[in-house]
Amino acid sequence: MKVNQLKSKIFDAFVVNWTAKAICIVIAFLLYFFYNISQLGTNSISVPVTVQSNGQFMAVSSFQKHVRVTLRANPKDLAGISSREIKAVLNLDSYTAAGEFDIPVSLEFSPEIYLIDPFEAKVFPDRIHIQIEDKTFAYKDVNVSFAGQLPHGFEMVSYSVIPSSLKVTGARSAVEQTTNLLTNRLLLSNHTKTFSAPVKVSSLNSLVTIENEGEVFVTVEVQPVYAEKTLENIPLSFERLAENLKILPESESLKHVSLKLGGDLLAIEKAEKDSVKIFSDCSKISEPGDYELTVNYMLPAGVKILEKTAEKVMITVELSGMETEPPAEAGE
């Protein structure tokens, strides 16, 4: 009996005036909800915009690069949220043609933020106007940019680039406008021999990317500059003649020689009369007489003879103690 009375009271508590009681419950819930909302903090964060694409299209126009994200949550939860945990994304995957569009900004959060409750996020602006184009690629020739000069006396004969062309990928208009690629400046100073070096290739258009991280290998062939020079009236000397012999002055048919020299510019510049030795060896002459001697040449390193005025020389040798008497005058 008592159990039935208790059940009856409980039933009456829920059923009697149930409309008023339901209204009271709703009001209580709303009060609780608005109370919690009133306790939430607000924080506004600037977030960079990321363009996401499946590779078929890309943005080509300038567009707003940051959006303002307003967050609402418990103050203690807001304190731990930074822009690194939020991504503002323009997703191009659903677009099938090039053109201009107002693309919605979608927000993505780190897993930790999804666990925050209550949590509210709004983004401004919620759409961004951009122009998109289809992506394409082409191979473009690589030109080398040089800086400085080779040291004096050296010249660049040629250069080669490996690879000679690179794959350029990007918006169709940007790829078509890219006629060739230019390397960063390659310094020539201080190089006196053939050398090779890796060099970066820079793109002047931000809408294209270059394969291989934009790097090529450049080989520059360097050689000495060739030059020619003429030296005239270089003295001819006679060496190693026996002490008891002498060369008659009037028999020295050739006392000076002229030369045309060729070789490396630095060596040619140093080649002067006093750096060139021209002589004939008299060591095999043992008695007076007439002799034909070979003319010998000693030159600075890096220099060779192109032309010379003497190969042989004729001399008359007599004993050094002999005196040559002048011819008698007529009538004596």
**Token pair listed for 86:** 């939020």
Task: Say what angle helices 18-39 and 2-15 make with each other, to 10 degrees.
Answer: 60
Query: For 186-214, what is the mean pLDDT?
Result: 89
The residue count of the chain comes to 332
d(CA 241, CA 282): 5
Residues forming beta bridges with residue 76, ordered by sequence position: none
Mean confidence (pLDDT) of the chain: 84
The confidence score (pLDDT) of residue 280 equals 92
Banded pLDDT at 331 (limits 50, 70, 90): very low
Range scoring the smallest mean pLDDT among 62-66, 145-149, 187-191: 62-66
Cα gap 148→185, rounded to integer Å: 9
Q: What is the pLDDT of residue 56?
A: 85
CB 123 within 8 A of CB 67: yes
Q: Each residue of 236-283: pLDDT tens digit?
A: 889 999 989 988 876 655 678 899 999 999 999 999 988 999 999 999
Between CA 294 and CA 242 the distance in angstroms is 17
pLDDT in tens, 300-313: 988 999 999 888 98
Say if residues 312 and 293 touch (Cβ distance below 8 Å): yes
pLDDT for residue 43: 84
List the alpha helices (DSSP H) in the chain: 2-15, 18-39, 75-78, 172-177, 265-270
Note whether 62 and 171 are within 8 A (CB).
no
Count CA atoms closer than 13 A to 41's CA, side-chain side. 11
Q: Token pair of 230, please? A: 């003429």
Tokens 């009001």 — which residue?
27
Inter-CA distances, 279 with 102, 171, 184, 270, 320, Å: 93, 76, 55, 20, 21
pLDDT tens-place string over residues 28-75: 555 455 445 555 678 888 999 988 888 788 888 888 889 999 988 888
Instruction: Say if residue 151 is preceded by a cis peptide, omega within 30 of 0.
Output: no
Q: Does residue 94 have a pLDDT over 50?
A: yes
When pLDDT is averaged across residues 184-194 and rounded to a whole number, the result is: 94
Q: Three-state DSSP class for 326?
A: coil
- In terms of C-beta density within 10 A (0-12 exposed, 13-18 middle, 19 or more buried), how is residue 80 classed? exposed
> How far apart are alpha carbons 235 and 253 in whole angstroms?
13
Residues contacting residue 63 through CB under 8 Å, at least 6 positions apart: 49, 90, 128, 129, 130
Yes or no: say if 86 and 49 are a contact pair by the CB < 8 Å rule. Answer: no
At 209, is the pLDDT very low, low, confident or very high (cuts 50, 70, 90)? confident
Return the pLDDT at 78. 81
Cβ atoms of residues 275 and 300 within 8 Å: yes
pLDDT over 90 percentage in the chain: 44
pLDDT for 248: 85
Q: Is 298 left (phi over 0), alpha (psi -120 to 50) or beta?
A: beta
Cβ atoms of 278 and 257 within 8 Å: the answer is yes
Q: Concatenated DSSP letters for 102-160?
A: EEEPEEEE-TTGGG-SSEEEEEESSEEEEEEEEEEEEEEEEEEEEES-PPTTEEEEEEE
